[in-house]
Amino acid sequence: MLGELLIPAGFVLALDQASKKLILERFGQAPRSQPPIGWKPRLRPLLSKTLAHGFVRDRHTLLLLWSLAAVGTILLICYAPPLQSWTARVGLGAALGGATGNLIDQLRRGAVLDFIDLRIWPVFNLADTFIVVGLGVALWSIR
């Protein structure tokens, strides 16, 4: 049962960290740059230094909140019948993997590396995508 949570989490974490490594190798250190002009989506590395969008003041608090979210996710999967489906567990695993990827960035670099710039949305990364999609899949599965 927990394998259906941990395997997607590990896969997403590995994919997220590999994508960030490739972006840093291609572009070097991510500068904070001005938004580009135009409409075409592109890769644009950007370091986001605010912890949890400014709601968290230090790394220890962020680590504590992540730990609570991880334990809470495991408890929900074990004890909440609507979230015990395979689809819900995989979705929650993907979201947990994405959250872990951003946490690792924050602890390692002091900032999260974002690089997908659609120009109509704030710059984001694969971890952010998996958090949103994973939670969406989990919620969709309980309908």
What length is written for the chain?
A: 143
Q: Are 19 and 126 in contact (CB under 8 A)?
A: yes
Catalytic residue list contains 105 = no
Would you place residue 85 in the very low, low, confident or very high pLDDT band (cuts 50, 70, 90)?
Answer: very high
Encode pLDDT of 26-75 as tens digits. 988 655 555 566 678 889 899 988 766 566 778 888 899 999 999 999 99
Catalytic residue list contains 114 = yes
pLDDT at 30: 54
Helix (H) or strand (E) holding 112: strand 112-117
Q: Which residue has the tokens 């949103």?
A: 132
pTM attached to this predicted model: 0.87
Spatial CA neighbour of 105 closest among 91, 119, 115: 115
Query: On the CB side of 89, how many CA atoms lie within 13 Å of its CA?
Result: 17
16, 105, 117, 128: which is the annotated catalytic residue? 128
Between CA 89 and CA 30 the distance in angstroms is 34
Q: Euclidean distance between the first and final Cα of the chain, in Å?
A: 21
